[in-house]
Amino acid sequence: MMLSNQTDAKVFQALHSGNLLALGILYDRYGEVVYRTALRMLGNAQEAEDLTQEVFLALRRRGSYDSKRGSMLVFLLTLTRSKAIDRHRQIRAQWQRVQKWFRSIPPESGSTLMDKAALKEMSDRVREALSQLSSEQRKVLEMAYYDGLSQSEIARDLNMPLGTVKTYKRKGLLKLRELLQDLVEQRW
Amino acid sequence: MVDFPESEELNELLASYVLGDLTPEEVAKVNQLLKSHPELEVEVSRLQQTLALLPLSLPETSPPATLCSKILQAASKDASNSPTSESKIPRYETELLSAGIRSNRVRRRPRILLGLAGSIAASVLIGLSLYSYRLHQQVVAAQAELSRYREAIALLRQPSNRLLSLQGTETIPAASGSLIVVPTSEVIVLTLQNLTPLPEGQIYRLWGVANGQKIYCGEFNPDPQGRVLVEFPLDADMSDSSSVVITVEPSQQLPYPTGETVMTGSMLL
């Protein structure tokens, strides 16, 4: 079987044993979505390009991805976000915990092959789910996620009581969790 | 021992935990809960995964086409400096130098040459891995194309096929091709050449003509070389038609042709 038809776990294994072709294949699968996130968080194409490169090099170098511990997609998105926030020099304790999570979460198998069509379908699902949140819930979640703002910074920026921001964020996330249930519970 | 909260309260607590919105005391409480009820870890992980998927909602982008090869180049440069291939000697030597101990010039020379050979090897490696990546991409594309041709040939071998020959009108006189009606598989196969690529927002549509009515069969765009090989389902109404037309239409789907007819075809066999 050709490497490009293999699961993420197998491709990653090949990468770890020094096969750079594997990196090209993973880029082919996830490069766009990493770039998409980087572009939103850094707001400029050159920096987004640099960050995308940094993320894929980190993937090769550190060998820190363990397919038994979550999907490649979630791993790369989390890595992109934490590196983007590092660039903003706004490292916060909670994101260090996100990284810690990759060492502590229970095993899940990454056996499904994620192709472009599957990723597109997932993107549509997430867009659809997000559109069902109230505009306030969406706004506070996006400010926290992309701009790395704390709830008190968001409260200040939006001129909103702190408790309200906290409630919007929490309710928004729980609603997404409910709407995207099958995406996070399926074993990919 | 922490009191176990009600389920709604618990969900909200875990959500805020994942969002990093808890006070240190609340975080301690959740950590204790997770310790006493390890099954809650699964829910925490799923909330974290949900949050991590948020960027999928962003509009799709097109990263620069050169980015992939840039990354591969950087990775292969990186490979020659990676901890696995890094020899202990250069590091030891740096330590010696920083401690103010100069190594023998005569002994250093071969090492420089070795370093040079190493960087030549690294650049050969970059070239080779890019080359093999591109080859690989080509093989994938070629395989996909081959399997499409194989399917088309299998269809052509079936009995009772009907063939229509197509010719461009004065708009694109060089365009030509065939349409094969395969009643046994209930499909039609269209193959064309020398078609002009269309600007964005326009598309080619194929219509069957039966009893003076035009019946929609399918839409397509040529490849950059102006070639088309597509398969459409065979509509029952199409079985009666003895001629077809191809028109240029706006992308949004309309039930009847509105644009210019650029190719026409009639039954041969």
Decide if A106 contacts A187 (C-beta within 8 A).
no
Residue B132's CB is within 10 A of a number of other CB atoms, namely 14
Residue A106: pLDDT over 50? no
Residue in the structure block whose two tokens are 């069509």: A117
Top residue of A2, A11, A20, A80 to mutate, by most chain B CBs within 10 Å, is A20
DSSP code of B248?
E
Residue A50: pLDDT over 90? yes
Domain locations in chain B? 7-52, 67-149, 162-267
SS3 B48: helix
* pLDDT at residue A68, rounded to an integer: 58
Tell me the per-residue pLDDT of B94-125, one tens digit each, with 9 for 90 and over: 433 343 333 434 444 555 556 666 666 666 66
* pLDDT at residue A20, rounded to an integer: 80
Structural domains for chain A: 1-113 (1.10.1740.10), 115-188 (1.10.10.10)
* pLDDT at residue B105, rounded to an integer: 41
Please state, for a pLDDT cut of 70, what percent of chain B lies above it: 77
Q: Is the pTM of this model over 0.80?
A: no
- Could you give the C-alpha distances from B152 to A8, A160, B143, in angstroms and in order? 32, 63, 14
Q: Would you list the DSSP string of A54-87?
A: HHHHHHHHH----TTBS-HHHHHHHHHHHHHHHH
* pLDDT at residue A136, rounded to an integer: 95
Q: Is the dihedral of CA B101, B107, B110, B114 positive or negative?
A: negative
Nearest to B136 by CA among A3, A71, A153: A3
Rounded Cα distance between B217 and B255, Å, is 10
* Cβ–Cβ contact B19 with A under 8 A: yes
Residue of A nearest to B143 (CA): A2
- Residue type present at position B136: H
* Structural class in CATH, domain B162-267: mainly beta
DSSP code of B222?
-
SS3 B179: strand
* pLDDT at residue A154, rounded to an integer: 94
Residues in A touching B64 (Cβ below 8 Å): 45, 49
Q: Which uninterrupted H or E stretch holds B91?
A: helix B88-98
